[in-house]
Amino acid sequence: MKIKSLIIDDDPFIKSLLGDMITMNFPFVEILDTAKSGREGIEKIKIHQPDLIFLDVEMTDMTGFEMLSQYENPSFQTIFITSYNHYVLKALRMNALDYLIKPIKFEDLQQAISSCISKLGQKKNSETIKATLTNLEGLILNILPKEIAKEIENDGSATPKYYDLVTVFFADIKGFSQHAERLNPVELLEELNYYYSAFDLIMEKYGVEKIKTIGDAYMAAAGVPTHNMTNPYDALKAALAILEFIEKTTVLREQQGKQPFEFRIGIHSGPVVAGIVGLKKFAYDIWGDTVNIASRMEENGTIGKINISKSTYDLLKENSEFSFTPRGKIHAKGKGMLEMFYVER
């Protein structure tokens, strides 16, 4: 580890002597520059961003104490240089790392630099720990919703919660098996990542929680983990934005001579239970018949269309932003006859 340093002293002899002592005996201390006054020192600190400064107390334009007092939380360590012992106490009160009495003795310089190494090592460890914790927090928030992560942090677990109204979104790729045969595994995953990364950003924009991908299917829910009454609207706005993205990507892929993915989208609103289960590889999920019916909406939809249930339709039919086409009752696997509606744009 190289320690980047500055020498700030108005005595050329001291600057030269100290520089030679450091260069000859401490190769891991790099002298970036010197300054002959406090004001010049301030400018050199801005330029070089040193780890350590050797700062003379008795300078003509301003004292070393006056210069250091301009930094509320300096990013560098300070070793004061002084001719007088009575300045030592004040130097330490200003959180100086150490002080050197003129004429400078080698053993005093060695001790001061050893203190600097120790201090910088502690700072580096602290920064490493802080960066690691920040990265871990970011990783956790990519796996779990913020509210759930906070609950686990505070309580050690997250209690499953019942929601009386949540809107569940499903999107699925038509003929995914054929795409899997046509593309090599890397190309297939890159294409899936392209689409679903865009879906993630759109869901985040409209406050919809991505739940998971199941093979080639994408599942999200509005109204969890934070309950709200706008979730049917939020989910449909997100679905329309996703449909627009799919259409633009279809044009782009055709221009590139590639075969685009085609999607069916289904939406249903109703009650769910949400939470995490198990002891390992935590994943936030939702359960209930609402999830099954949303999946059936997708299965019974049409490419390039958003198929919604009567439950979602009833919650949005008075909203002038949307128009709907009734499809009547359609048989859904395991659910019998269900009333369905297409969303028109």
Q: Which of 102, 264, 296, 305 is catalytic?
A: 296
| Rounded Cα distance, 228 and 309, in Å | 19
Please give the pLDDT value at position 237. Answer: 97
The pTM (predicted TM-score) of the whole model is 0.63
| Residue tagged 């299965």 (tokens) | 299
pLDDT at 130 over 90: no
Distance CA 216, CA 287 (A): 19
| Residue 160: cis peptide before it, omega within 30 degrees of 0 | no
What is the rounded CA–CA span in Å between residue 75 and residue 86?
26
Q: Choosing from 130, 258, 329, 333, which is the catalytic residue?
A: 333
The overall longest dimension of the chain from CA atoms, in Å, is: 97
Cα 251 vs. chain centroid, distance in angstroms? Answer: 32
Residues 6+ apart with CB under 8 A from 243: 263, 265, 304, 306, 345
Choose among 163, 213, 176, 166: nearest CA to 193: 213
Percentage of the chain beyond pLDDT 70 is 92
- Phi and psi at 72, nearest 5°, equal -70, -45
The SS3 assignment for 134 reads helix
Alpha helices in 144-220 (DSSP H): 146-155, 176-182, 185-205
Residue 246 CB neighbours (<10 A): 20
| Torsion 280-281-284-289 (CA) sign | negative
Q: Checking DSSP bridges between strand 29-35 and strand 3-8, what pairing results, if any?
A: parallel
296 in active site: yes
Above 80 in pLDDT, residue 246? yes
Compute how many other C-beta atoms are within 10 angstroms of the C-beta atom of residue 172.
20
Asked whether residue 134 carries a pLDDT value surpassing 80, the answer given is no
Q: Check residues 238 and 77 and name the one with the higher pLDDT.
A: 238
The residues pairing with 332 across neighbouring beta strands, listed in sequence order, are 336
Q: Inform me whether the pLDDT recorded for 76 exceeds 60.
A: yes
Domains and CATH numbers, the chain: 3-139 (3.40.50.2300), 144-344 (3.30.70.1230)
Write the pLDDT tens digit of every residue in 86-99: 777 777 677 788 88
Q: How far apart are CA 103 and CA 46, in angstroms?
A: 29
317 is catalytic: no
101-114 tens-digit pLDDT: 888 888 888 888 88
- The whole-angstrom separation of Cα 223 and Cα 163 is 8
